[in-house]
Amino acid sequence: MNKTLLIAKSEYLRRVRSKWFAVATLAVPVLAIGVFLLPMIAFSAGDGVDRVAVIDDAGLAGPLAEALGGRVEVEVSDAPLDTLRAGLLADDLDGVLVLPEGLVEGDGEAEVRYLSRGGLDAGDGVRGAVREVVRRARAGAAGASPAALAAYESDVPLRLVTVSEDGDEADAAIGRFLVANVLSLLMYLAILVFGMMVMRGVIEEKANRIVEVIASSVRPFELMMGKVLGIGAVGLSQLLAWGALTFGLSLAAGPLLVAFVPEAAGDGGEAPFGPEAIGSIVDPGLLIAFVLFFLGGYLLYSSLFAAVGSAVDQESDAQSLQTVVILPIMIPLLFLSFVANDPDGGLGVFLSLFPLSSPILMVVRMAVTDVPVWQVVLALVLLAVAFVGMIALAARVYRVGILMYGKKPSLAELWRWVRTA
């Protein structure tokens, strides 16, 4: 067997048999589902009924209680404001509302008082209900009939339809934007984590002098490529396992979420995260493209991480050099919202074709719009060409770096290694 494949096989088996691999493979999907579900369940469980005292000089307490429904208990009070404030501080009340005389006529302003420790959304429901009730009262005072008010406040059904050459379909922009964010973040983390794994592996072997023994029977290029391919196979295996486990856990999480939050059920009472719901926003072609761009992005950046690892004696020395590699991975995230909002614009198309940013931003474009096939193919070809050029440079640094000890090299010295190796 080819020496590169032998090294790749050794790296792969050594890492997938470790406890770290098993724990990370199981823990990440569970944590991801938990992070998504727990806030929804906690928010629903903690949504108790607030008690709000109202100083009602505008005569709006009745309509206000009706507008708030059962969410807030409204108590009309004649007590002085200071007394109610003391009750608020003593937790006897959850809020104090002042509706001054003349509010309907446009004189004075309503005031809602909540505790400062009540959170950012304290009083949101009361503020919205007050605006609704006052506007309705002002419209009535201006001569609007109840029928006119009901017509003004009635819902207006509006359906968005996305038109493309493949046909018309109901718009799912929010779902697609969510998918684009999740996939881009996953791509960034995967390239960074597994690229750093390559760098740490090189540093560890160099520090233990193992690399000197291996280099006596294997060419440095074969050693570097074997490590890159082996860890890349580990990353691909883990991503596929995460995808399968997350899909399975999502199917189980839907009924669990409905049990705690009945409002999460669909119009027909079906649980969320069913196969049809997931299939409506996740296209199989997008998942295939995600795998291909992950492989391209990983191979491109991991060769640079291997070069950085070979140039230093310990991980702390690699911080300044690895920043040069990490920055191009982070910059596409800054353009994520821009590309998602204008996926067919000139800058969005360029960034999705540019090899250093295409692994993240082409996937984002494909999640939010129909990207021509030739652009996807061109991006993959440019990524492959960039990888060939980058691996040639990285191999020259790696060839010199793995046998160099002592002073940490500068970027100028690394460039001299590239020219002389």
For 349-391, how does the pLDDT look when each residue is reduced to its tens digit (9 = 90+)?
Answer: 999 999 999 998 998 888 888 889 999 999 999 999 998 888 8
Q: Is the pTM of this model over 0.85?
A: no
Region 74-92: what's the mean pLDDT? 86
For 229-283, how does the pLDDT look when each residue is reduced to its tens digit (9 = 90+)?
Answer: 888 898 889 888 888 888 888 777 777 767 666 666 666 666 666 666 666 666 7
Half-sphere exposure of 352 (CA within 13 A, CB side): 32
Q: Which residues contact 309 (CB under 8 A, 6 or more apart)?
A: 198, 199, 200, 201, 202, 203, 206, 318
Exposed e or buried b for every residue in 389-413, given b needs 16+ CB within 10 A?
ebbebbbbbbbbbbebeeebbeeee
For 132-152, how does the pLDDT look when each residue is reduced to its tens digit (9 = 90+)?
Answer: 888 888 888 888 888 888 888
For residue 257, report the phi and psi dihedrals to the nearest 5 degrees: -65, -40
Top-confidence residue, 181 or 9: 9
pLDDT at 160 over 80: no
User: CA–CA separation, 312 vs 418, rounded Å?
Assistant: 16
Strand partners, 55: 98
CATH of domain 49-153: 3.40.190.10
For 48-69, how does the pLDDT look when each residue is reduced to its tens digit (9 = 90+)?
Answer: 667 888 888 888 888 888 887 7
User: CA–CA separation, 362 vs 377, rounded Å?
Assistant: 11
User: CA–CA separation, 36 vs 354, rounded Å?
Assistant: 33
Write the Ramachandran bin of 106: left for phi over 0, alpha for psi from -120 to 50, otherwise beta: left
User: CATH 3.40.190.10 occupies which residues in the chain?
Assistant: 49-153
